[in-house]
Amino acid sequence: MSALFDAIATGAHTALSPTNLIYCFGGVTLGTLIGILPGLGPIATISMLLPVTFYLPPETALITLAGIYYGAQYGGSTTAVLVNMPGESSSVVTCLDGYAMARQGKAGPALSIAAIASFFAGCVATLVIASFAPVLANFALEFGPAEYFALMLLGLVAAVVLASGSLVNAFAMIFLGLLFGTVGTDLNTGVERFTFGIPKLVDGVDFVTMSMGIFAISEIVVNLESVQERTILKEKIGRLLPSAEDFKRSIWPIVRGTGLGSMLGILPGGGAVLSSFASYAVEKRIAKEPGRFGKGAIEGVAGPEAANNAGAQTSFIPLLTLGIPSNPVMALMIGAMMIQGITPGPQIMTAKPDLFWGVIVSMWAGNLMLVILNLPMIGIWIQLLKVPYRLLYPTILLLCVIGVYSVNNATFDLVILSVFGVMGYVFVKIGCEPAPLLLGFILGPLLEEYFRRALIMSHGDLSVFVRNPISGTIIAMAAVLLLIVVLPSIRKKREEAFQE
């Protein structure tokens, strides 16, 4: 234990130096801003800033870039709550209940609870990294393709729970998401699927582009149709801070979300996005009145917000302890280290303790800055609702276009954005919810990848999925969950619950 304190002291020495504190502050502020702006995500921002870090010492560079990443998780919820547009892919879930709360005049409490949940999760996750990073990294290594497949399957079944409307619609949207996920080059054979000979589709459809189109663009179009809703939002802003009742409802979802996020964040691929979806599904499943979800349940904001922030933070574990990136942002971090002449790998912790512990301690400092930065800002963000839509919407549209373009520097992505914008509008009109579609889109390709890889390794033996204790257990859980959802008697009860 004293070794841990020594290590944290080493880290504090690095992280709390004036220069690093200033860069950390700069990082989290920039992160918050790009989180708020729809479309412009941490990937685009970090890649634009990568050349600048060339001129900074390695610790400072990583502290800044890390700050941008978890800062974006804080900011992403703001636009999700206020205008139903996810600023970040991991805040897609926050739209569901956060926006519903905002329409009831409870945008203030929704934003506050999101910031508080993120802060709590950030602190716990930092502690988790500091004390268990090496152990957890080895745990993640135990996960082979069969285990990942089982986990993704469970996630996909849970996606049905996400929908608050018709079950048939939810299934349809998941399958549509799976279909979109197949666009691109097949990993195992190199054959192109559904690319129609368009070179830009060879790498598949980009998640940012898709979610921007379906959420942001369609939201603008839908709102332009109805004049009434605009006035409702203008009048009611309500209180800023959550009530005692809100806190009581949120405590356990925050704790559970933090736990889920910390676990899922370590695993490559899923990370923050999956953990926020998972947290929402869990909260809805164990809630006494699941019918409140999707209609402004504060638990549906608190849990996922805690989960995505915890997940964002623990996704640093494989990077810092094994030198292996668990998501594209971490791959950029590796690039940042290599620019500095540092080879990421298991030796980082012992060879560069200043860097390792410095980054960890800076995460805690950064989280503190973020909550201080965000809570007083809520009053200002709420004023955004007063901005006339004729100014707000063109601005958002412009930002979406810039954000989407900046991912690949490709104009073709804007065409895709428009296509999904139209699609999102149609979905709203026919009463289909987009969240299950996005989850299907994220999980589908992973599901296929791990399924086929497990079979290659087992030489075609299907029993590998159930023989293995971890994957066997998860698949059993998925099967039980599926039964609960589709059994007719229970389904009837489920629909009754929504009637309330």
Q: Which residues bind another protein (CB under 8 A)?
A: 46-47, 50-51, 54, 141-142, 144-145, 185, 187-190, 199-200, 202-203, 268, 318, 322-325, 328, 331-336, 338-339, 341-347, 408-410, 449, 453, 456-457, 459
Nearer to another protein, 323 or 472 (CB): 323
Nearer to another protein, 168 or 202 (CB): 202
CB of 267 to another protein, least distance (A): 11
CB of 197 to another protein, least distance (A): 12
Nearer to another protein, 186 or 354 (CB): 186
Amino acid, single-letter form, for residue 144: G
CB of 264 to another protein, least distance (A): 16
CB of 184 to another protein, least distance (A): 10
Nearer to another protein, 17 or 47 (CB): 47
CB of 51 to another protein, least distance (A): 5
Which tokens in the block code for residue 446?
A: 């992973």
Cα–Cα distance between 260 and 230 in angstroms, integer? Answer: 37
Convert 146-183 to b/e letters by CB count within 10 Å (16 or more is b): bbbbbbbbbbbbbbbbbbbeeeebbbebbebbbebbeb
The helix (run of H) or strand (run of E) holding residue 184 is: strand 184-185
Nearer to another protein, 22 or 202 (CB): 202
CB of 342 to another protein, least distance (A): 8
CB of 102 to another protein, least distance (A): 35
Nearest of 398, 381, 284, 297 to residue 77 by alpha carbon: 381
CB of 265 to another protein, least distance (A): 15
Does residue 318 contact residue 268 with C-beta atoms inside 8 Å?
yes
Nearer to another protein, 34 or 80 (CB): 34
Cα–Cα distance between 294 and 95 in angstroms, integer? Answer: 9
Nearer to another protein, 453 or 494 (CB): 453
Nearer to another protein, 104 or 185 (CB): 185
Nearer to another protein, 120 or 405 (CB): 405
Nearer to another protein, 272 or 385 (CB): 272
**CA–CA distances in Å: residue 180 to residues 301, 372, 482, 496:** 27, 40, 23, 32
**CA–CA distances in Å: residue 343 to residues 89, 336, 338, 340, 351:** 29, 10, 6, 9, 11
CB of 174 to another protein, least distance (A): 22
Convert 195-211 to b/e letters by CB count within 10 Å (16 or more is b): beeeeebeebbbbbbbb
CB of 42 to another protein, least distance (A): 12
Does residue 445 contact residue 204 with C-beta atoms inside 8 Å?
yes
Inter-axis angle of helices 58-83 and 18-36, to 10 degrees?
30
| Cβ neighbours around 145 below 10 Å, total | 20
Which tokens in the block code for residue 234?
A: 């203008």
Amino acid, single-letter form, for residue 493: K
Residues 6 or more apart in contact with residue 150 via CB below 8 angstroms: 465, 470, 471, 472, 473, 474, 475, 478
